[in-house]
Amino acid sequence: MAATMKRILSVLFIYTSTTLNLNIYAEVVDDFKEELFIKPLPSGHVYFHFQFTTTWEADFENPKSFEHYRLFPKSLGHVLTTYKVQELHLSQTQGLWRHDKWGYPVSSAPPGAELWVWFQPSIKSLDDTWSELVNAVSGHFCTSLNFLDSKSTAAPRWSFRPHGVASDGYSSFSKFVRYGALPREIVCTENLTPWKKLLPCNTKVGFGTLFKAIKLYDANYHSLGLDVRPVCRDSDCKRTSIELSQSLSVVFDPSVKNNEHQDWSLKKILGDVLSSRCPLASSSKIFVDTTSNIPKSIFTLSPDPDSVETITRGGEKRQYAVYDVGLQTAGGRVLNLGAKYDNPVQHNDIIPPPIYAQRYITGYGLEQGGVTCLIYNNLDTNLTVIYMETLPWFTRFYFKSLTIVNQNKQIHPYKVHYIPGKDRSRSYHLELVFRLRANSVTKISYKFERAFLKWTEYPPDANHGFYINSAVISTVLPTASNYTSTPQSSSSIETSFQDKSENFFLRIHTETLLVSLPTPDFSMPYNVICLACTVVAIAFGSIHNLTTRRFVKLDPSKKRGLLAKIKAMFIKQKNTKSDETSEKETDKEDEKEKDE
């Protein structure tokens, strides 16, 4: 009876709401994967990359699909719909990823915080929405992203293309993208807490239980990432899903505490063992890169992996040990994954990755300065790169001084996109497209001039200096040497094993720079105001005097001035008194005369 009633109701409903989207009552289809990727690095460090991927069959264009949530965090969903976000990429990083020693990370991030967002084309006023969005995201993740105002925001033309599904017409303009970075931002527990709250299992079960802040922030490198983008729902790519990728990368140096041995284990490094998997996750796996064990085994993993996968990606052979956390922790067992090394770490020359960069400040004094960026290309082929630089307005970038030198020959960029900065309102934004010759070092250098700020514009501890954003280098590699990023189709680590592509998009961030600016004396505004006004008053007073008065001869008998007047008054009084006395005397004399 009840079933028939329900059917009738639903039929009625369908009839009455043909215009409404039928997805309302459709089941929420979503999927969550948790993965941990571990890569022992040749320098003795160990790289841990936690990857949480939520795919949700919802449509950005359709606000109705954001009414029912299951695994996708609702708080984030609200932010995305309110500000009409198409793609959002946030990274919060402590420390610098050393490309020359560590190769490439899964997702590159600059020191500090970085946010870049593609907005939906239906958006009305983009700059206002951006400023509202940064405030919302800032509140959400406890970062200072609210400082990303027009002074530190750019609209990159080539460097930050949409990462997810996007139509050609939409992505060919940089109209809808905004990029901002805060190189000074310090990342700590207060950023981790809101980030891990977005995980479906939080920190109760699964990989989340390994997030012990005291260990995570005692690392050489630490990066929290959050990327939202539309991805293809199926191979036809007619419909899109939303993918939320949360990642946490940490690089530890176990040899420091371990007497030169690289031995590591989850317990030792992260402070805990895995005792459960997230029941909401469709897959919960750990991958350990054991490529360095070929041909000669240098470390042994314990416990033994569930399977070992050997894959070839971009012409490079790799081996991964795979652990299924569900299997490993079944029956109340705990997983304390670890590696034992046969020998202490040997600090040999490390083969650097195909392309990496190094950037530094040149010059001395607080007047002018320069920046030099060396880009190393170790490939046997030429490589076209996009170089992006955003400089704050107070380091006035001289476009004429920009030079790109390769093997002592000046090279001209194919394309230049330069937005000059404006004092107190816009940063300098530069994008260059040029070619790196095979096996060469390309040097980009330019000059800047330090501005003098108002005393209120200096931050506390003004002499610490000001940070300059990392430069961003984007390119497409023909080889996957050292490459760990996931392919375009999915953020899940596992999919990278099936990646058959021959081109690999790479983005690397260089060092942030610290520039000190000349400072005024903060302690004496009153003195300065008084002194400067005095000088003006000298001129004003003198000219006022000379133009409003005339020359006269000084008559010493006519004394002027207040004092003279007062004196004159006294003298007058005295005179009148003496007159009176003299009168009296004359009276007396008269009397005398009369008497006589």
Partner 1 sequence: MAITVGLLFVVGVVVRLILLQTDLPQWVANKNEVITPLTAWERVQEGLALKKNMISPYDGDIFHETPILLKIMEVVNNFPNGSKYFFVILDVWMGLLLLSITNKFAGYKLTQQAEGVKKYSVDVEKIILRSKDLKHLGSYVIAVHFLNPYTISTCLARSTASVSNLAIIYLFYYMLHNKLILCTFFIAVATYQSFYPFILCAPVALYFYSHQTSSKSDRSYNSSKAIFSYTRTCLLSIGWLMALLGLSCVMEGSWSFLYSTYGFILTVPDLSPNVGVFWYFFTEMFEHFRVFFICVFQINAVVYTVPLAVKLRKNPVFFLYMLIFLTSIFKSYPSYSDVGLCLTLLPLWKHTFSYMRNSFVVACMYICCTVFAPVLWHLWIYAGSANANFYFAITLVFSTAQIFLVTDLLFAFLRREYDLYNGTTHKLENGETTQIILE
Closest CA to 87 of 488, 444, 526: 488
CB-wise, 279 or 525, nearer to partner 1? 525
Residue 345 or 405 having the CB closest to partner 1: 405
Total residues contacting partner 1 by CB under 8 A comes to 56
Contact call for residue 111 and partner 1 (CB under 8 A): no
Using the rule CB under 8 A, give the single segment among 40-48, 92-100, 144-152, 397-405 that binds partner 1: 397-405
Binding residue (CB under 8 A) for partner 1 from 536, 592, 593, 595 = 536
Q: Which of 234, 367, 461, 593 binds partner 1 (CB under 8 A)?
A: 367
Q: Which is nearer to partner 1, 204 or 544 (CB)?
A: 544
Q: Among candidates 37, 39, 41, 40, which has minimal Cα distance to 49? A: 37
Shortest distance, position 253 Cβ to partner 1, whole Å: 36
Integer CA distances (angstroms), 2 to 8, 10, 214, in order: 10, 12, 56
Measured from the CB atom, the residue of 286 and 430 that comes closer to partner 1 is 430
State how far the Cα of 459 lies from the Cα of 481, in Å rounded to an integer. 43
Assess 452 for contact with partner 1 (CB under 8 A).
yes
Cis status, amide bond into 194, omega within 30 of 0: no
Cβ proximity to partner 1: between 151 and 437 the closer is 151
Q: What CA–CA distance (Å, rounded) separates 506 from 107? A: 9
Q: Does 410 bind partner 1 (CB under 8 A)?
A: no
Q: How far is the CB of 428 from partner 1 (least distance, A)?
A: 8
What secondary structure does DSSP assign to 348-367, as a single string?
------SEEEEEEEE--SSS
Residues 415-444, one symbol each (x = binds partner 1 by CB under 8 A, - = not), give: -x-xxxxxxx---x----------------
Binding partner 1 (rule: CB under 8 A), the pick from 538, 564, 568, 571 is 538
Regarding 414 and contact with partner 1 (CB under 8 A), the answer is no
| Distance between CA atoms of residues 59 and 54, nearest Å | 14
CA nearest to 103, candidates 320, 291, 346, 363 = 291
Q: Note whether 514 binds partner 1 by CB under 8 A.
A: no
Q: Does 273 interact with partner 1 (rule: CB under 8 A)?
A: no
- Beta strands per DSSP E along 381-427: 383-391, 395-406, 409-410, 415-419
With a CB cutoff of 8 Å and minimum separation 6, the contacts of 121 are 170, 176
Residue 561 within binding range of partner 1, rule CB under 8 A: no
Task: Select from 124, 500, 553, 592 the one that contacts partner 1 (CB under 8 A).
Answer: 553
Nearest-Å Rg of the Cα atoms of the chain is 37
Least distance between partner 1 and beta carbon 452 (Å): 4
Q: Binder to partner 1 among 412, 460, 548, 561 (CB under 8 A)?
A: 548
Binding piece for partner 1, criterion CB under 8 A, among 125-133, 154-162, 282-290, 540-548: 540-548
**Which C-beta is closer to partner 1: that of 536 or that of 563?**
536
How far apart are the C-alpha atoms of 310 and 313, rounded to whole Å? 10
Are the beta carbons of 130 and 96 closer than 8 angstroms?
no
Of 93, 94, 68, nearest to 81 (Cα)? 68
Contact region for partner 1 (CB under 8 A) — 125-133, 167-175, 370-378, 390-398? 390-398
Distance CA 278, CA 31 (A): 12
- When the beta carbons of 403 and 498 are compared against partner 1, the nearer one is 403
Question: Which of 549, 562, 594, 596: binder of partner 1 (CB under 8 A)?
Answer: 549
Q: What does the block give as tokens for 503?
A: 């081109």
* 3-class SS of residue 226: strand
Stretch that binds partner 1, among 114-122, 335-343, 344-352, 533-541 (CB under 8 A): 533-541
316 DSSP β-pair partners: 313
Q: Give the bridge partners for 386, in sequence order.
A: 433, 474
- Identify the residue among 173, 360, 398, 570 touching partner 1 (CB under 8 A): 398
Residue placing its CB nearer to partner 1 in the complex, 102 or 393: 393
Only one of the segments 233-241, 288-296, 472-480, 513-521 lies at the binding site for partner 1 (rule: CB under 8 A); that segment is: 513-521
In the chain, the N- to C-terminal Cα span, in Å, equals 157
Q: Using alpha carbons, select from 106, 113, 194 the residue that is nearest to residue 203.
A: 194
Q: What is the DSSP letter of 426?
A: B
Residue spans of beta strands (DSSP E) within 186-302:
221-232, 240-252, 264-265, 283-289, 299-302
Confirm if 405 and 164 have CB atoms less than 8 A apart.
no
562 is a site residue for partner 1 (CB under 8 A): no
Q: Closer to partner 1 at the Cβ: 214 or 535?
A: 535
Tell whether residue 524 is a contact of partner 1 (CB under 8 A): yes
Give the strand order in the sheet containing 299-302.
Answer: 264-265, 338-341, 299-302
Q: Say if residues 452 and 468 touch (Cβ distance below 8 Å).
A: no
Residue choice 13, 360, 414, 540 for contact with partner 1 (CB under 8 A) = 540
Asked whether position 554 contacts partner 1 by CB under 8 A, the answer is: yes
CB of 419 vs partner 1, minimal distance in Å: 8
- Candidates 16-24, 263-271, 487-495, 538-546 — which segment interacts with partner 1 by CB under 8 A? 538-546
Which one of the spans 52-60, 278-286, 307-315, 450-458 is the region binding partner 1 (CB under 8 A)? 450-458
Computed from CA positions of residues 172, 175, 178, 179, in that sequence, does the dihedral angle turn out positive or negative? positive
Residues at the contact surface with partner 1, assessed by CB under 8 A: 364-368, 393, 396, 398-400, 416, 418-424, 428, 451-456, 518-521, 524-525, 528-529, 531-533, 535-536, 538-540, 542-556
